[in-house]
Amino acid sequence: MTTQELLAHSSRYIMNTYRRFPIVLVRGEGPWVWDSEGKEYLDFVAGIAVCSLGHSHPAVTAAIRKQAETLTHVSNLYHIEPQIRVAECLVEHSFADKAFFCNSGAEANEAAIKLARKYGNEMMDGNRYEIITMENSFHGRTLTTVTATGQKKFQLGFEPLPEGFRYVPFNDIAAVEKAITEKTCAVMVEPIQAEGGILVPDDDYLRRLRNLCDDRGILLIFDEVQVGMGRTGTLFAYEQSGIQPDIMTLAKALGNGFPVGAMLATDAAAAAFVPGNHASTFGGNPLGMAAAMATLDTILTGGVLDNCKAVGAYFFDRLRELKGAHDIITDVRGRGLIVGVELSIPGDAIVSMAMENGVLINCTNGNILRFVPPLIITRDHVDRVIEVLDEVMRLT
Ligand SMILES: *Cc1c(COP(=O)(O)O)cnc(C)c1O
């Protein structure tokens, strides 16, 4: 099929849930992707913070190939060696004692919400099932995770929504304190709000949240679906806060493009689940776990985190320079290689022009350019993106 035919068939046969750019991407390597016309792009979207080791990373590709030739799926009726290895690795490198596997971020959050409710209803004083989440947050698109998401625009039309969620402003401890009732079982928060516009809370926010949860005997859940797996320069974003959650969710970069999700918890929280309480047919299957294991091994041994910190700092410096040259940039923020550039104008024209110039970037919340490139990029890649942004912003 020609590209024009592909685009025509796409709108004819695929449900209308996305506004897609009019290109078809067919191949990727490292931070580069190519479309069906052979045009090359430097990819600072990375499948929305997914392909953190770059496209077609040789270690991940080899692991998937080898596992596909050995065993792809057997279900969780049996023990699965690659799943045991990934669980051990995640537990040994985090606060957690136990892992549950699924296939996406929404599913990981759904599992976290179910665990917190089970814990609240059965292991706390009285029946506790309410979860406090943040305004402007993003936790997924299932009916329950879209309800946990503190943004009306994602919920409209899907009423009635499940009960049991209360929303408070992000980065506001007093608001959380006021929202806690005798029904509250948990507080759920992204350590950095990603879809919401790369919002980094005050340095002591997560610590104060931890203290508050400890005082009131409620669980603290971190959604690290986007900011986990090295994105901020440490394997998990919470490591930089000096405190630990009780439950944490992961997905996006966990399999470097293979769909896998995980929900990690302390033994105390995990004890609320017993056989029959929660399950996933595909979750933790050998193929996904082989991808996750290769991804974890590479992040932990390949200098990826150091590169993320160093190139992230360089990217920040260059973006601050760019801000000095362009009035439309009102803020540059983020951590490691999750970076937001707030504009005084809508961002879509800049995203489209950057694409024409061979650079893929994303815009979230209308006017915030979001950069979530592979963590293996170099200063040269940053320079190229800055050069294109500078050119494009001159034209706006
Ligand atoms: C992307 C994202 C999700 C949802 O993940 P899916 O895999 O799309 O279901 C949940 N939480 C956060 C913070 C995310 O960035």
Same domain, 215 and 329: no
pTM across the whole model: 0.98
- Indicate if 148 and 12 belong to the same structural domain: no
Q: How far is the CA of 259 from the centre of ligand 1 (A)?
A: 12
- What is the identity of the amino acid at 93? H
Confidence category of residue 336, pLDDT binned at 50, 70, 90: very high
Ligand 1 binding pocket mutation candidate from 229, 252, 370, 372 (most atoms within 8 A of CB) = 252
Mean pLDDT, range 2-23, rounded to an integer: 96
* Index of the ligand 1 atom closest to the CA of residue 251: 7
pLDDT digits (tens, 9 = 90+) for 190-228: 999 999 999 999 999 999 999 999 999 999 999 999 999
370 CB under 6 A from ligand 1? no
Q: What is the DSSP string of 225-247?
A: TTTTTTTTSSSSGGGGGT---SE
By the 8 A CB rule, do 263 and 91 touch? no
CA 194/CA 235 separation, integer angstroms: 17
Res 206: pLDDT: 98
> Looking at 262, 285, 301, which one is the last position of a domain?
301
Give yes or no: residues 111 and 254 share one domain: yes
How far is residue 369's CA from residue 10's CA, in Å, rounded to a whole number? Answer: 27
Give the pLDDT score at 60.
98
Phi, psi for residue 147 in degrees, rounded to 5: -75, -40
Q: Which domain holds residue 129?
A: 59-301
H helical segments located in 302-359:
304-325, 348-356
Residue 257 has pLDDT above 90, yes or no: yes
Question: Cβ(139) to ligand 1 under 6 A?
Answer: yes
pLDDT(302) > 90: no
Mark whether 98 and 223 lie in a shared domain: yes
Return the percentage of the chain with pLDDT > 70, whole number: 100
Average per-residue pLDDT for the chain: 98
367 shares a domain with 277: no
Residues 77-131 have pLDDT tens digits of 999 999 999 999 999 999 999 999 999 999 999 999 999 999 999 999 889 999 9
396 pLDDT band, cuts 50/70/90, is confident
